[in-house]
Structure 1
Amino acid sequence: RDEFLYLDQLYHRTEIPELKERYREKMLEFTLGNPDKFRSGTWALFHVEPEEYSEQTQFRKLDQAHTNYFSGPSLAILGSGEGVDRRGLLIRGGPNLPHSHDDSLALYYYDKGLLLTQDNGYYIFGSPLHYGWGSQAASHNLVVIDNDKYRYGWYKSGPGADLLGFADLSGLKYVYLNNPHQFPRFIQEYSRLTALIDINDKESYVFDVFTVDGGKRHDYMFHTGAPIMETDVEFQNIPDVWTLAGLDDKDAPYNVIGQSYGERIISGDMIRDLGIASEGVKSMYWNPPPGNGYGFIYDLKEALLTEKMFEASFKYYDGLDTTLTNRLFFDQDTTIYKGLGPNLSGTEKYPYIILRSEADKDHQSRVISIMDASLGLSSIAEVKRFDENSFVVEFFNGDSHFILLNSGKAKTPAGEFVSKAQFAIAKFNQQELANIAIVGHGEVKLKDIVVTANQFQTKILEVNYEKSQVIVDGLLDLEVGDLVAIDNDDYKRNTVYRVSSVAKKEDKTVLDLEGSMVIAKGTVAKGTKYVDLNTPLPRGFSYDKSTQYLDGKLFVREKTNESEIIKRTNGFKNVYLAGDINFEPQDSFVIYDVKVGDTLSNLPTAIWEK
């Protein structure tokens, strides 16, 4: 409604006819032809004349949902459907910059007109609710490692995620991100493989795999914006434990009924002070102990699982019977907890599921989630797991989807389905095979059908920065719109571009890439190897720590075209170069995202259709 208010004000205030018509069209599109439904408040009362709006069918359906990947913030958007039936997923890999939340690889799921996987956001920067809860990893849908002790300051710092796979296919949207870079080096993997898979034109479901390698304790967190969770699993109270933090510290003052931070939220983003000296309650820049948000999750209960899976329905009771059903499968021995987590004002509380697994060291865990949103009964009748890498999703109408991860195999109505690819799916209409799709290098076999996706790697031989053009070795099988990943041992993560044109030149391929390869530019204050700048580098540094986002990138003195590799970013306005450049004060510089010698690879997909 806030966005509509700005649009409505533009429409009423402009005196330019062309703009007025454009704002009117957007206003009608935004409100599905009924602006008065969105109008409220004093401004509308005094500035809007009553007007008849006939219902126009052109505004009953909005644009088709989009799927895209934005490399700078390593942000993936997966979308399907159109109009009111649009649904989508959003996952951000980072880097974390000032005012970020600690939500790298958190999953945001949109369907039925709602953000289903609730997010707190924040009201007042630096308040106990912002610092201690809303910005914490624990309040998001992701995995917390080792009680989040690797967080430094407001969040964990790092360059962002590597993109390992991506697909924008009919009926299948897919992304695979890995971001161990925000942790110490012994955390080898922190990845999320996520697919949005269509059931029909109006419905999709989510197939999601979260894998972590390293550390000792992994807490898989999941919650929605629904007030009620229903499950057949019976949860029991835990003696002397009221909060998630109480599992480690039963004597903590916030581990008592009525004294958890989630129950003590008062106006102004504050925590009610109980006069307990050890808590040290403050109004600003205070992170309530134990400092990871676990003291906000209360009414903790535990359940004994007889198998390595859990299913629950999250009910909105909104008059439409909006329901999110989640089916969780896990490989490792796991303890499951249920608790309540608050919104920022404390007026609402949401059921949280925590899957905890532990090892003495080098712990590995994987959680697979298959979830969907429905108005009433889900279209999914049952989900079966054949082995650790193969599943079938069966629907009430008789259709079925067989999903395989690498090395998975399953018996289908058309024969044995075997995969040696990152991800594969075979869709059946009743008992008849409709199509097969794979993502990532490898092949799948289903009886006599073989589907192959080939990944290649090649070196960048030349770069034209003005044209965003690279020349690479070999004749590559690429098309306009394909994504290519560019990497180098000097970089902390890969970077990704979309191909805008392809040309062959002798034994080489010329690729024009969308967007600019310039990631920073400005002027130098002084220095030769340790260089002070007049221009801040916001993506390279966050508060008092380097993000490592610029490490390995090419730093160029524009006057002479001299260049050196960035070894380290020491501050918002300071870089350490691999070699000396004799800068003069006010020399202009530019930092490029790509350089000669980088490795370029494709992100392959393949489809078979009957």
Structure 2
Amino acid sequence: MSLLSLLAILLATAQEPPVTAPVFPPRVSERDAARLLRATAFVRGLDEAALVKLVPRQSGLNYVGCPNCNQGRQENQLGWSPENWDEVFCRYCKHRYPSDQYPMNKAVTARNPRGELQRYPYWENAQGYRYFFAAKRDDQAREYVAARTRDLALLYVATGDKAHARRAALLLDQFAQVFPGWCYHFDYPFRQKEIDSGDVPPAKFRRGYRTARWTWWAYSDIPTELVEAYDWIRPSGVLSDLSASMGLNVPRRIEHDLIRNAAEQVLANRDELSNMDPTAWRALVTVGRVIGEPRYLHEVVRRLRHLINNQFFYDGFWCEGAPSYGAQTLGGLTNVLGLLRGYSDPAGYKDQDGKRFDKLDLTADFPELERARTALAKLRLPNGRPVPVHDTWRSDRVRARSSQDVTTPFLLPALGHAALGGGTGAEQTQFHLTWSGGYGHTHADNLSLLLFSQGRELLSDLGYTHTRYRAWTLATAAHNTVLIDGKSQSFGGLKAPSDGRLQFFDMQDPRVQVVSVDGSRGYPGLAKTYRRTLIVIDAGEGRRYAADVFDVEGGRVHDYFLHGDADESTTVTTDLKTTPLTNLLPPGFDWQPTRNEGETGRASEPHYAYGFLRNLKSALAPAGEVLPVTFRPTEGSGPALRATLLPEPGSRLVIGENPAVSRAGEDDAQLDKFMRSFIALRHETNDGRSRFVAVIEPYAKTSFIDSVERVAGTGSALVLKVRIGDRTDLIVYEADKPVSVAQGESPATFTGALGVLSLHGERIDHAYALGKGGWTRGNESVRSNGPQSLSLQAVSGDALILSGASESLPEAGDVVRVLTADNWVYPYTVVAAERQGETVRIRVAEGPGFSYDATTKEFRLTVFPQREHTGAVRLEWMPRAFR
């Protein structure tokens, strides 16, 4: 052997200083050994040559469905087991692949990053869609072998048996040998898979981390389970033994060809500021700490700061508005901060920005995260579910931030969501109204209502699904709101936002709560008016009801939807004589159900969502009469809901069912077996205007409202009388002029935006007035001021500095609205207000999250979505009075 050859071997096998302990010691003990022995039984039973052959030589594909059946969802039907290495099988219909019925007789060929030719066989259906069964096998094998590698490393830590560490090391080294030859690819459900040739440069990576190698999505392309296994077995000495026997530096190959290779690929992607970023960052921090690469940690901290500073609303909520994705992002960020805690850079290291870390702790750097936790915890139903805003899983759970089982009203002003109601324990009632814009994972659900009462979601939202009916769950018709001309609302976005505008919100009165929102951006160019006002009233004895007023102007046909419980079967009853109705589709509409989740775009097609409405019955609604409809459990007893409608002339009631989706268990084949009851009140207008009015009454066993009456002859004002036993509630809405309501010995007169007067016989039990005017009855009166307005001058910390005259100042807990010249509304909750000479200083609970220059009149949100406005900015609020 020559001297040069000997030197090459010595250099190749040279070892770093021995590692005496893992960077991240696992929580495992001898008690876990039995479980780990079972998990690794198959791989421990193989000889070493057979063991390393388990590692696939090509990258796999995840989204490969079963062409033999329509069960399951999202091209995730196929399974695999190591005992039948070359096969995949359908977990539903049990068909096995390779298959004579679906032969892989075509192939994609590509050069891998090493320049080697690789072949990906597939079967192609009549539509030209490709099924890569062999690549699905490789992907399942990768997942299995990586998991067993981690288990073997854990088993070594639990038992001290180096034989397990050696097997883990062999698998790690084999992955390091093959991974540089894995092709980049595009792997997405219901889209044609793409295999990329060559060593794809970062400039050609697809947006959204969609150019992947290890998995189907590059956010997860660092094999964290292998990095952990490497960390745990390093102290065993088996890597040095392998290096000596192979004549090369095995740890260096693992670190360079596998771990660092994957990390550099992930880092090279464009920073997307998404809910998946923490997944990639967690892996990068793990890698950086395990292999001693401080650059990775510094880059993660930079990106983390950028995301936290730019992707949360000023009330703390995650920008996409969906609690499921808010929880995912917040949990991921918390995990990353935990992995960073205590880290110190190597001696003498300074990053490119001149910073170094010593005993790193970023907890105090991000108070926004505590605000985000508080905001997320608010969107929690009494049963622990998140409120299903946008793409939110009904199976998720939100941890309560208090041990008190109580409902209190709240507003998330930047997100655009309000909850009204109250109660404790099983008697909690929550009315949720949402008007958030669309910034990812969006539903067309502007001004949608959800009602939780008596332990049930009595007016429901379907939430998130990956089944073929996802288009239905996104559509406006699937939500408790109003459709115009059969069209779903706009899905919004940064360039065409669909956010609603809060008109007023008040929860200060112990018995009356109100929210009113304009949602006309949901129908751009169509809706001149699209406004919902919800008035929730305490009926005593733990009961609550709501008066719901929905005003629409624009279009010709308006449909007011209410959907019942999605978890349990309910039946709708009415006193009207109904007749069968074929469908609500326009004549000649050729409706076909969506075939898969990839057809979500159909949610935006006019009238398409009506095809999901089934078993329809209808009747003309009597003009000038109340129309009660009741949702009751189909079987047994349970909470119910009565909605007393006050239809306008020319209205028609439609009763039917639609897919409940969640009860199908994410199985396409089960979707049509589980239905949700609904009603729709259709108003075909002559002047483009509709006013839908309903009194919504949840109850446990028997209804408590005795009658609902619409008082005639009150001009443009809406006046309702609601009788509950010997109590009468008078509700007056939009009384620009005095409105007199006959009741008992003395009429009651009201002027203002909203008034509620509760009478027991002749005695005034409670009075509430919002807006300029108030109540007068006999010698008794309650007076309230009109809207108040001040001019914004500056922002100082958590305070708004204003100028101008006002009759009063807002009180702590009041909601004020910042209004821009181009009609955007940014509400805030008042902490305190005081006059300081010529100015007024109002401290707010949220944000404020914007800057303002009174000289240039430039207003800019410094948080998501960084919107800018030019022009004078004012602050308004609506005083109220009650007794």
Cross-structure match for 2:876: 601
Task: Say which of 354, 377, 380 aligns to 2:702.
Answer: 377
Task: Provide, for residues 426-458 of structure 1, a one-character-per-residue CA deviation record: whole Å limited to 9, x for no partner.
Answer: 112344221210123332322232322213443
**Structure 2 counterpart of 1:138, which letter?**
A
Task: Provide, for residues 97-146 of structure 1, a one-character-per-residue CA deviation record: whole Å limited to 9, x for no partner.
Answer: 2111111101111100111112111211xx54112x10100011111011
Does residue 307 in structure 1 map to residue 638 in structure 2? no
How far apart are residue 564 of structure 1 and its match? 4.9
Task: Provide, for residues 212-249 of structure 1, a one-character-per-residue CA deviation record: whole Å limited to 9, x for no partner.
Answer: 011221111122115211111111124xxx2221xx12
Task: Say which of 278, 285, 295 aligns to 2:611.
Answer: 295
Task: Say which of 703, 711, 728 aligns to 1:400.
Answer: 728
Q: How does 1:107-126 map to 2 (within 5 A)?
A: 107-124=449-466
Judging changes above 3 Å, is the alpha-carbon distance between structure 1 residues 155 and 497 closer, same or farther for their aligned structure 2 residues?
closer
Q: Secondary structure at the match of 1:606?
A: strand
Task: Say which of 769, 778, 803 aligns to 1:438.
Answer: 769
Q: Secondary structure at the match of 1:166?
A: strand
Partners of 1:180 and 1:292 lie apart in 2 by 22
How far apart are residue 356 of structure 1 and its match? 1.5
Cross-structure match for 2:427: 85
Judging changes above 3 Å, is the alpha-carbon distance between structure 1 residues 171 and 455 closer, same or farther for their aligned structure 2 residues?
same
Worse overlay, 385-394 or 85-94: 385-394
Cross-structure match for 1:505: 836
Judging changes above 3 Å, is the alpha-carbon distance between structure 1 residues 333 and 555 closer, same or farther for their aligned structure 2 residues?
farther
Task: Say which of 58, 65, 82 aligns to 2:407.
Answer: 65
How far apart are residue 375 of structure 1 and its match? 1.9
Q: Secondary structure at the match of 2:783?
A: strand
How far apart are residue 291 of structure 1 and its match? 5.6
Judging changes above 3 Å, is the alpha-carbon distance between structure 1 residues 111 and 152 closer, same or farther for their aligned structure 2 residues?
closer
Number of residue pairs matched?
467
Worse overlay, 219-228 or 404-413: 404-413
Q: Secondary structure at the match of 1:141?
A: coil
Q: Secondary structure at the match of 2:747?
A: strand
Cross-structure match for 2:484: 145
**Structure 1 counterpart of 2:571, which letter?**
I
Q: Secondary structure at the match of 1:406?
A: strand
Q: Which protein has greater RCO, CA pairs closer than 8 Å, 6+ apart?
A: 1
Task: Provide, for residues 523-570 of structure 1, a one-character-per-residue CA deviation record: whole Å limited to 9, x for no partner.
Answer: xxxxxxxxxxxxxxxxxxxxxxxxxxxxxx8699xxxx999567xx9x
TM-score, L = length of structure 1: 0.69
Partners of 1:448 and 1:410 lie apart in 2 by 16
How far apart are residue 159 of structure 1 and its match? 4.4
Is contact 2:456-2:639 (8 Å) kept?
A: no
Cross-structure match for 1:464: 795
Q: Secondary structure at the match of 1:287?
A: helix
Cross-structure match for 2:742: 411
Instruction: Flag the structure with higher helix content.
Output: 2
Judging changes above 3 Å, is the alpha-carbon distance between structure 1 residues 336 and 383 closer, same or farther for their aligned structure 2 residues?
same
Judging changes above 3 Å, is the alpha-carbon distance between structure 1 residues 82 and 431 closer, same or farther for their aligned structure 2 residues?
same
Partners of 1:139 and 1:180 lie apart in 2 by 19
Q: Secondary structure at the match of 2:612?
A: coil
How far apart are residue 252 of structure 1 and its match? 4.0
Q: Secondary structure at the match of 1:295?
A: helix
Judging changes above 3 Å, is the alpha-carbon distance between structure 1 residues 282 and 72 closer, same or farther for their aligned structure 2 residues?
closer
Partners of 2:445 and 2:864 lie apart in 1 by 33
Task: Say which of 221, 231, 236 aligns to 2:579.
Answer: 236
Is contact 2:732-2:755 (8 Å) kept?
A: yes
How far apart are residue 591 of structure 1 and its match? 5.0
Is contact 2:476-2:489 (8 Å) kept?
A: no
Judging changes above 3 Å, is the alpha-carbon distance between structure 1 residues 590 and 495 closer, same or farther for their aligned structure 2 residues?
closer
Instruction: Flag the structure with higher strand content.
Output: 1
Partners of 2:500 and 2:410 lie apart in 1 by 15
How far apart are residue 589 of structure 1 and its match? 13
Q: Secondary structure at the match of 1:244?
A: coil
- Aligned-pair identity (%): 20
Does residue 321 in structure 1 map to residue 321 in structure 2? no
**Structure 1 counterpart of 2:701, which letter?**
G
Partners of 2:494 and 2:474 lie apart in 1 by 8
Partners of 1:430 and 1:590 lie apart in 2 by 53
Does residue 205 in structure 1 map to residue 545 in structure 2? yes
Partners of 1:157 and 1:244 lie apart in 2 by 29
Cross-structure match for 1:450: 781
Cross-structure match for 1:357: 683
Judging changes above 3 Å, is the alpha-carbon distance between structure 1 residues 438 and 594 closer, same or farther for their aligned structure 2 residues?
farther
Partners of 1:416 and 1:199 lie apart in 2 by 22
Partners of 2:499 and 2:789 lie apart in 1 by 23
Partners of 2:797 and 2:527 lie apart in 1 by 39
TM-score, L = length of structure 2: 0.49
Alpha-carbon RMSD across the aligned residues, in angstroms, is 3.7
Judging changes above 3 Å, is the alpha-carbon distance between structure 1 residues 150 and 236 closer, same or farther for their aligned structure 2 residues?
same
Q: Secondary structure at the match of 1:478?
A: coil
Is contact 1:325-1:372 (8 Å) kept?
A: yes
Is contact 2:709-2:721 (8 Å) kept?
A: yes
How far apart are residue 474 of structure 1 and its match? 2.7
Task: Provide, for residues 160-185 of structure 1, a one-character-per-residue CA deviation record: whole Å limited to 9, x for no partner.
Answer: 22221222111111101111122234
Q: Secondary structure at the match of 1:184?
A: coil
Cross-structure match for 1:486: 818
Partners of 2:630 and 2:814 lie apart in 1 by 38
Q: Secondary structure at the match of 1:160?
A: coil
Q: Secondary structure at the match of 2:540?
A: coil
Q: How does 1:511-590 map to 2 (within 5 A)?
A: 511-518=842-849, 564=858
How far apart are residue 86 of structure 1 and its match? 1.3
Does residue 343 in structure 1 map to residue 660 in structure 2? yes
Judging changes above 3 Å, is the alpha-carbon distance between structure 1 residues 292 and 447 closer, same or farther for their aligned structure 2 residues?
farther
Task: Provide, for residues 316-363 of structure 1, a one-character-per-residue CA deviation record: whole Å limited to 9, x for no partner.
Answer: 256443110110013342122222211123332223222222235x50
Judging changes above 3 Å, is the alpha-carbon distance between structure 1 residues 120 and 152 closer, same or farther for their aligned structure 2 residues?
closer
Q: Secondary structure at the match of 1:325?
A: strand
Judging changes above 3 Å, is the alpha-carbon distance between structure 1 residues 589 and 64 closer, same or farther for their aligned structure 2 residues?
closer
Task: Say which of 559, 566, 582 aligns to 1:219.
Answer: 559
Does residue 330 in structure 1 map to residue 677 in structure 2? no
How far apart are residue 64 of structure 1 and its match? 3.2
Partners of 2:648 and 2:450 lie apart in 1 by 24
Larger radius of gyration: 2
Does residue 173 in structure 1 map to residue 513 in structure 2? yes
Q: How does 1:34-45 map to 2 (within 5 A)?
A: none
Is contact 1:194-1:206 (8 Å) kept?
A: yes
Cross-structure match for 1:20: none
Judging changes above 3 Å, is the alpha-carbon distance between structure 1 residues 384 and 456 closer, same or farther for their aligned structure 2 residues?
closer
Does residue 94 in structure 1 map to residue 410 in structure 2? no
Is contact 1:160-1:493 (8 Å) kept?
A: no
How far apart are residue 93 of structure 1 and its match? 1.0
Q: Secondary structure at the match of 1:346?
A: helix
Is contact 2:859-2:870 (8 Å) kept?
A: no
Is contact 1:300-1:338 (8 Å) kept?
A: yes
Partners of 1:290 and 1:589 lie apart in 2 by 31
